[in-house]
Amino acid sequence: MHVSRVSVIVVGMALMGATLVGCSSGGGSGSGGGDAANNLDGVGPITYVQGKDNSNVVRPIIDKWNAAHPDQVVTFKEQSDQADQQHDDLVQHFQAKDANYDVVDVDVVWTAEFAAKGWLQPLKDSLAVDTSLLLKPTIATATYNNTLYAAPQTSDGGLLYYRKDLVPTPPTTWADMMKDCSIATQNGIGCYAGQYAKYEGLTVNVSEAINTAGGSIVGTDGKTPTLNTPQAKAGLQNLVDAYKNGNIPADAITYQEEQGRTAFEAGQLLFMRNWPYVYNLAKTDGSSTVKDTFGVAPLPGMTGVGASTLGGHNAAISVYSAHKKTAHDFLAFLESSDTQSFFLSQGSLAPVLSSLYDDTSLQAKFPYLSTLKASISSAVPRPVTPFYPAVTKAVQDNAYAAIKGDKTVDQALTDMQAAIQTASTGN
């Protein structure tokens, strides 16, 4: 008997360690009022924190800054290339009130959460940045509670890739695109696909559908759901109908960006919604069969250009930074025309500066640039809410069930509405 009791205790303790160790770091509560008032004119060396610099754009930019500011050197702290890990790394350093994380690069959907935690320095008064030259929707992603908390740094918008050998003029409305699907049927290929696997991409696509139809997921306060409208219903219904009648092929329910790109490059899709990064790959990939036969257009809307979802990143100043003046100047430097132009030419990152999209030399290099400007100009951010993880989960779960036909559109929207409401109550 002794043996078994001791074994139970040993096994139990091992289990405790395995299941609970992940949760030991406590949740943060927001205050930060004091920290946000400190060090506003602090000048000196700072650290810039960003995820993996895949296209090597950050180091050259920082070298350039450091050459011009030897007394305010910027050090680059590179994180992993996984968004979740970047998020958790930032949270841990903020919770520890780390003064060494001066300027941080945040995904557009994290900005409100970090701002509400009191970790981001409001960019006002002496720290205000000039946003007049930026594309309007990018500013919205960095604004929480009518206060700008971050400087838009890079953007991204959805594009409609289409086969110009089969459809000479791209459709401008959703209804036209659905009509063009008969061409796909004649050619024995799928018609249209976006990203419908159950992950963040589904939220992107569903919010595009809802915003395009004139609806919205949450109201301007960032937490009250607004899905009980005919517009929101019409938006989701478009996706549901298209999947049901086969205009969106059945296997698109498993698509993330890459599966869609592979199918399009293999010539199996007439239309595809995807990000600008696909453009160069579809032009140059050895396996691409559509190198010279595809074009890009803005996403189709109800009557005109559709409402794309915004991607991209914002740069923000930590309230715990000791050198906020330098941090602020560095933000302005990141948003300068030279830097933005370098981001685009070196890393194909969509700039936030409106003027660069009209630059003819850049347009020659990136033929999709004017289309992308149209896309981003009419884009709508995903819900700017501190409860984003819960909101995106509510959207994904219910939209996924609706698209697969397991739930009516009405029921899905009712559930989505209720789930987003519970998100803001904590339980």
Residues 129-158 that bind other proteins (CB under 8 A): 144-145
CB burial readout 333-368, b (16+ within 10 A) else e: bbbeeebbbbbbbeebbbbbbbebbebeeeeeebeb
Closest approach of Cβ 268 to other proteins, in Å? 9
334 binds other proteins (CB under 8 A): no
Residue 188 makes contact with other proteins by CB under 8 A: no
Contact 370, 354 (CB under 8 A): no
- In 94-251, DSSP assigns E strands to 103-107, 143-144, 147-148, 151-156, 159-163, 190-193
- The residue (of 200 and 359) whose beta carbon lies closer to other proteins is 200
In the complex, the smallest distance separating the C-beta of residue 30 from other proteins, rounded to whole angstroms, is 4
- Specify the residue, 55 or 80, whose C-beta has the smaller distance to other proteins: 80
95 three-class SS: helix
- Interface mask toward other proteins for 390-419; x: CB under 8 A: x--xxxxxx-xx--x-xx-------xx-xx
Q: Which is nearer to other proteins, 19 or 54 (CB)?
A: 19
Verify binding: residue 67, other proteins, rule CB under 8 A: no
CA distance 334 to 381: 21
Q: Is 407 left (phi over 0), alpha (psi -120 to 50) or beta?
A: beta
Q: Of 122 and 301, which CB lies nearer to other proteins in the complex structure?
A: 122
| Side-chain-side CA neighbours of residue 116 (13 Å) | 16
Query: Are 369 and 79 a contacting pair, CB within 8 Å?
Result: no
* Residue from 103, 104, 117, 305 binding other proteins (CB under 8 A): 117
Name the nearest CA neighbour of 398 among 388, 408, 389: 408
Q: Does 307 bind other proteins (CB under 8 A)?
A: no
Q: Does 37 bind other proteins (CB under 8 A)?
A: no
* Residue 84, H or E segment: helix 83-95
Q: By CB under 8 A, tell whether 32 contacts other proteins.
A: yes
For residues 225 and 80, give the distance between their C-alpha atoms in angstroms, rounded to a whole number.
Answer: 33
| Residues between 72 and 101 with contacts to other proteins, criterion CB under 8 A | 84, 87
Burial class (CB in 10 A: 0-12, 13-18, 19+), 285: middle
Regarding 4 and contact with other proteins (CB under 8 A), the answer is yes
Applying CB under 8 A, the span of 252-260, 304-312, 324-332, 365-373 interacting with other proteins comes to: 252-260
Q: How far is the CB of 72 from other proteins (least distance, A)?
A: 30
Among 165, 176, 251, 410, binds other proteins (CB under 8 A): 251
* Nearer Cβ to other proteins (1/364): 1
Shortest gap between Cβ of 2 and other proteins (angstroms)? 4
Residue 286 tokens read as 């050895």
